[in-house]
Amino acid sequence: MQITSDTYAQRVAQVQAAMKEFGLAAVVIEPGAAMQHLTGVRWGRSERTFLVVIPAKGAPAFVVPGFEEERAREMTPKGADIRVWQEDESPFERVAQVFQDRGVTTGRVGMEESLRFFILHNLKKAAPKMEYVTAQPALKSAGVNLVEAPRRRP
Amino acid sequence: MTVGVVPITDAERQQRVAKAQRLMREQKIGGIFLEAGSSLDYFTGASWQPSDRLFGLVLPAKGDLVWLVPAADEKRAPAGQDVRLWQDDPFPRLAQMLKDRGIASGTLGIDERARFFVFDGIRRACPALEFTNADSVTAGCRMYKSAAELALMQRASDVTIAAYKAGLATLREGMPQNELQNNIHAAYRALGYPGYVSVMYGAYTAFPHGSLTPQKLKLGDFVMIDDGCTVEGYQSDITRTVIFGKPTDRQRQIWTLERKAQDAALAAAKPGAPCEAVDIAARKVIEAAGFGPGYKTPGLPHRTGHGIGLDGHEWTYLVKGNKTPLAKGMCFSDEPTIAIYGEFGVRLEDCFYMTDDGPHLFSKQSPAIDQPFA
């Protein structure tokens, strides 16, 4: 399921180039077709937030539930920046920290179109200075696969 | 096991809508917008899957429900209700629906699982509105189960126990885990309800969500089975960890500790106590035995339990920091895993509902390491 490091680097670079073109300081993606194509990670969505944050410059970072860290490390690209949040902590604070670490302080953050509302709602509170817009045109232009495979089980 | 199941009635759904409207007025929310999903199902009985074509519902604080339906799906629109079909762009239609229910300004609650493009479309079409998470309304209703809901969840739990019994009776040395899985799935089909199970053996029992690595059953392995089934939309979720062959002292010790932690959680689930008290009680037992502390492994790496209902995991959660008071009708899992990576894990999971007198289990706890069912 994993993609090679070269493919990963190449796909991230393509997205970052598109982000520049579309004026996005970061892109946030939930598990699904786009995450799988871009990072090789295939993960089930649940109430526990799992995200990849792609900054305009620098390495992507994964925000991962603490008790799933082992499983996440098996799936994410080698050496990936993984930020865990424990059950009584906020994953959105972790995203805000990634923004800060990558110099994403103002401007527009692109949300992959299928991202769920509660993530946006909480992220707005954790990083209120950013403007949250759709990432779809940038992701399409970068050739990211956005078509969901049929679901196997709920 | 399908005899005697009573589906949720329209009258009960009307009461749910009325309660949601009361909560909206209290919270000064003009209405909520729901996409296809479990909350829409809860209030209306329409169980649609989200698709590219937007299908949704406005549940206004005052007035009748209004449906947003793709013109191509007109035949599936609910009969006798206010249905608005859309052809090219759903959002102007939705803005009109909101206006018609007096929601031209003020606050609209958005389904917590609505997709970003849906929210983005709404905010463009309705620039005067403010938005909030609709879960204060949806969870405010769904968290407290009625007698009819509890009866369906009881049936789901009974079906799962029956399927597990049938499955575990087939255990044999060398059995691949997917064979046990298939046997339990077959049992679910025979019982008349769709169900799913994840199966882990030996060292893989330490992984809370299992592993895809093919495994074969050996004497002395722990067998862990987890998940549940659906009855009229309502879920069960049960885990059993049972020894295959003779347990070591270590296995017996940890299994007994797990059972004590599960008992402690249940004992702490007193009406009015904060949800976090349940997690603290279970964790205390596990930490006292030298595990953890906190989420550290070896130990209990996750919260002690989750809410359950139309979704397998739903509000509210038995987790540190959650001060929500335990109240009548709330349903939870009680599952304080002990994960020892490299060795094994033990999880006993039974669900319970709160009554005014305390917690009431849907399933009887596993009495012993070699006795998964009472």
| Shortest Cα distance, chain A CAs vs residue B114, angstroms | 5
Q: How far apart are CA B221 and CA A101, in angstroms?
A: 45
Residue closest to B38 by CA, chosen among B299, B309, B220, B365 = B309
Whether residue B304 contacts residue B336, with contact meaning beta carbons closer than 8 Å, is answered with yes
Average pLDDT over residues A112-123: 98
Q: What is the pLDDT of residue A150?
A: 56
Q: What is the pLDDT of residue A149?
A: 66
Average pLDDT over residues B213-230: 95
Residue closest to B98 by CA, chosen among B110, B87, B88 = B110
Whether residue B261 contacts residue B300, with contact meaning beta carbons closer than 8 Å, is answered with yes
Q: What is the pLDDT of residue B106?
A: 96
pLDDT digits (tens, 9 = 90+) for B292-329: 999 999 999 999 999 999 999 999 999 999 999 999 99
SS3 B182: helix
Average pLDDT over residues B239-253: 98
DSSP class of B203: G
Domain B147-361 in CATH: superfamily? Creatinase/methionine aminopeptidase superfamily (3.90.230.10)
pLDDT of A154 over the 80 cut: no
pLDDT of A153 over the 50 cut: no
Whether residue B111 contacts residue B37, with contact meaning beta carbons closer than 8 Å, is answered with yes
Percent of chain B with pLDDT over 70: 100
Average pLDDT over residues B96-121: 97
Average pLDDT over residues B214-233: 96
Kindly report the pTM of this predicted structure.
0.95
Domain regions of chain A by residue span: 5-141
Q: What is the pLDDT of residue A70?
A: 85
Contact status of B207 with chain A (Cβ, < 8 Å): yes
pLDDT digits (tens, 9 = 90+) for A70-102: 889 989 999 999 999 999 999 999 999 999 999
pLDDT band per the 50, 70, 90 thresholds, residue A27: very high
Contact status of B179 with chain A (Cβ, < 8 Å): no
User: Do A47 and B313 make contact, defined as CB atoms within 8 angstroms?
Assistant: yes
pLDDT of B338 over the 60 cut: yes
pLDDT digits (tens, 9 = 90+) for B328-337: 999 999 999 9
Please, what is the average pLDDT of chain A?
Answer: 94
SS3 B45: coil
* Among A88, A116, A153, beta carbon nearest to B113: A116
Percent of chain A with pLDDT over 90: 90
Q: What is the DSSP string of B343-365?
A: TEEE--BEEEEEETTEEEESSPP
Residues of chain B with CATH 3.40.350.10: 10-142
Residue closest to B120 by CA, chosen among A145, A20, A139, A114 = A114
Q: What is the DSSP string of chain A?
A: -PPPHHHHHHHHHHHHHHHHHHT-SEEEE-TTHHHHHHH-------SS--EEEEESSS--EEEEEGGGHHHHHHHSPTT-EEEEE-TTS-HHHHHHHHHHHTT--SSEEEE-TT-BHHHHHHHHHHSTTSEEEE-HHHHHHTT---PPPPPS--
Pick the CATH number of A5-141 from 3.40.50.10490, 3.40.50.1000, 1.10.3720.10, 3.40.350.10: 3.40.350.10
pLDDT of B62 over the 60 cut: yes
**Six-digit token pair at A115?**
């991202």
pLDDT digits (tens, 9 = 90+) for A62-77: 999 999 998 899 899 9
Average pLDDT over residues B117-144: 97
Q: What is the pLDDT of residue B196?
A: 97
pLDDT of A151 over the 60 cut: no
Tokens 């520049």 belong to residue: A20
| Residues from chain B contacting residue A71 (CB–CB below 8 Å) | 207, 209, 211
pLDDT band per the 50, 70, 90 thresholds, residue A152: very low
Q: What is the pLDDT of residue A1?
A: 54
Q: How far apart are CA A91 and CA A102, in angstroms?
A: 17
Whether residue B346 contacts residue B337, with contact meaning beta carbons closer than 8 Å, is answered with yes
β-pair type (A51-55, A26-29): antiparallel
Residues of chain B with CATH 3.90.230.10: 147-361
The topology under which CATH files domain B10-142 is Creatine Amidinohydrolase; Chain A, domain 1 (3.40.350)
pLDDT of A47 over the 80 cut: yes
Find, in chain B, the residue whose alpha carbon is nearest to that of A29.
Answer: B116
Tokens 């009969």 belong to residue: B79
| Residues from chain A contacting residue B132 (CB–CB below 8 Å) | 121
Contact status of B293 with chain A (Cβ, < 8 Å): no
pLDDT of B211 over the 90 cut: no
Q: What is the pLDDT of residue B15?
A: 98
> How many CA atoms within 13 Å lie on the side-chain side of B99?
11
| Residues from chain B contacting residue A117 (CB–CB below 8 Å) | 110-116, 118-119, 133
Distances (CA, A) of B140 to A134, B316, B322, B326, B359: 30, 10, 15, 13, 20
Q: What is the DSSP string of A116-133?
A: BHHHHHHHHHHSTTSEEE
Which of B17-26, B72-81, B279-288 shows the lowest per-residue confidence on average (mean pLDDT)?
B72-81
**Six-digit token pair at B342?**
């490299």
Q: Which residues, in sequence order, are CB contacts of B360 under 8 Å at separation 6+?
A: B352, B353, B354
Amino acid at A67: F
Average pLDDT over residues B105-125: 97
Please, what is the average pLDDT of chain B?
Answer: 96
Distances (CA, A) of B130 to A14, A131, B115, B123, B126: 35, 15, 17, 8, 9
Integer distance in angstroms from the first to the last C-alpha of chain A?
20
pLDDT of A148 over the 90 cut: no
DSSP class of B236: -
Pick the more confident residue, B271 or B74. Answer: B271
Q: Considering only residues 66 to 125 of chain A, which have any Cβ-Cβ distance to chain B shorter than 8 Å?
A: 66-68, 70-71, 86-88, 111-118, 120-121
pLDDT of A131 over the 50 cut: yes
Name the helix (H) or strand (E) containing B44. helix B38-44
